[in-house]
Amino acid sequence: MIEMLNATKLTLLISRNVVHNENLADVLNFISQEDIDWEIFSSLIQHHELLPITYILLKDKSGLIPPSIYKRLETGYFYSLANNMLLWDQFLAIARAFNDWDSPLTPLKGLSFIGDIYPDINYRSMVDIDILVREESLSLAGDILVNMGYNKCLGGLTEAYWRKKQCHIAFLKQLSPSRSVLVEVHWDLDFKRQIDPILPLLWKRTEEKNIEGQRIRFLSCEDTIFSLALHKRRFGNILSLKGVCDLACLINKFKSQINWEYILKWSRTSRIRTTLYFSLAQVNLIDDNIISKAVLKDLGVPYWKRQAIHKLIFKNTFSFADINKTYLMAHFLLYDSIWEPINYIINIPQEQFAKFYGFTPYSEKASLLHRMRLLYMPFGFNSPRRYVGAH
């Protein structure tokens, strides 16, 4: 049994409040009654990218929080809000341009939740704009973005490399010398595998909505669950509670409508049961009443793997020790077969390689070491990892 620090318990209480939005009294009681290490709490909510929601919950309770921590929350909140406003503004402009060409796009991750599972853009931090387009529309999507002032970012690699090894291409627009916006144009939710496409009904199941004057297609709830789960395979912050809250909020909100039969069928057909199990098991960390035990059982993940997943989540979600090892180990618990993660690691895309080892993505150093990765990996394994996506 792992003894939780009060700072950890508070972080979990805040995560639960993101999902249920009715436990603020529990949060405030806990702060009033318990001795909290605020520095650890501050590190945890930054690591888990929960700073905006924490500020929203506690902004009227500044007397309960040390002034320096409150200031940090406030600054982080406004930084995140300003960044999100710029991203949202750009996203709407992109949606408008795609509509002009009658070329559908669907937002992925954070952007797709605004006004739906989160009330507005201030609740959740975002790093970039992720959109999904049909693979056959990729060239047009690139042309539209270039016309809007974006530049393709191939990171010193060829476009053929990105098309073959990745499922997105990045575009960057410099708004000013110090401000830029990154758009990742995805044409699939996962890298090319032997099973292709992984979710063939995905576009048919999208739904069009009018968002601030723009027609925008959204993934179905079920395919959004898949997209969040599959995102973990790209060496992001796999154990981040932000992603867990996204999934928990989504499932909690649509629990009576979710077609679990579709999810179970395609998780088997597309061999993504383990990734899905990992993500759903993480939701249990926040609240074990959201996911039905029958669904977890029906995914049919082997017993040893289920145990390993639960152990990894409970032991490492709140630990900063051996982060590289944790992330590498987690990667072996995201695939249905053992060969896929091995193949992925050997052929790791440069961007993920840079993120994993804490290099600046697309830098010369990252590019060079990526080319020498089979030699570098055993030596670089213990090097400290920075969180590129964390503020």
With binding defined as CB under 8 A, does residue 201 bind other proteins?
no
In the DSSP assignment, the letter for residue 203 is T
The stretch among 14-22, 118-126, 261-269, 346-354 that binds other proteins (CB under 8 A) is 118-126
> What's the first-to-final CA gap in the chain, in angstroms?
31
Q: Which of 103, 191, 114, 184 is nearest to 140 (CA)?
A: 103
CB of 109 to other proteins, least distance (A): 20
With binding defined as CB under 8 A, does residue 360 bind other proteins?
no
With binding defined as CB under 8 A, does residue 148 bind other proteins?
no
CB of 290 to other proteins, least distance (A): 28
Pull the structure tokens for residue 9. Answer: 């318990």
The stretch among 42-50, 120-128, 228-236, 239-247 that binds other proteins (CB under 8 A) is 120-128
Going by their DSSP bridges, the two strands 151-153 and 168-176 should be labelled as antiparallel
With binding defined as CB under 8 A, does residue 122 bind other proteins?
yes
Per CB under 8 A, which of residues 155..194 are in contact with other proteins? 175-176, 178-179
Pull the structure tokens for residue 102. Answer: 């009658």
**In this chain, which of 29, 64, 68, 78 binds other proteins, going by CB under 8 A?**
78
Q: How many residues does the chain have?
A: 391
Alpha-carbon gap, residue 283 to 303, rounded angstroms: 19
Closer by beta carbon to other proteins, 77 or else 191: 77
Closer by beta carbon to other proteins, 84 or else 316: 84
Alpha-carbon gap, residue 248 to 50, rounded angstroms: 14
Alpha-carbon gap, residue 323 to 294, rounded angstroms: 32
**In this chain, which of 5, 86, 138, 295 binds other proteins, going by CB under 8 A?**
86
Going by their DSSP bridges, the two strands 214-218 and 207-211 should be labelled as antiparallel
Closer by beta carbon to other proteins, 59 or else 365: 59
Closer by beta carbon to other proteins, 75 or else 360: 75
With binding defined as CB under 8 A, does residue 79 bind other proteins?
yes
With binding defined as CB under 8 A, does residue 85 bind other proteins?
yes
Phi-psi label, residue 325: left if phi above 0, alpha if psi -120 to 50, beta otherwise: alpha
Alpha-carbon gap, residue 379 to 391, rounded angstroms: 27
CB of 74 to other proteins, least distance (A): 9
With binding defined as CB under 8 A, does residue 67 bind other proteins?
no
With binding defined as CB under 8 A, does residue 93 bind other proteins?
no
Alpha-carbon gap, residue 27 to 271, rounded angstroms: 40
Closer by beta carbon to other proteins, 78 or else 320: 78
Strand partners, 186: 132, 168
CB of 121 to other proteins, least distance (A): 7
- The backbone torsions φ and ψ at residue 177, rounded to the nearest 5 degrees and listed phi first, read -55, -25
With binding defined as CB under 8 A, does residue 83 bind other proteins?
yes
How far lies 206's CA from each of 106, 132, 231, in Å? 8, 11, 19
Sites of contact with other proteins (CB under 8 A): 75, 78-79, 81-83, 85-86, 88-89, 120-122, 175-176, 178-179
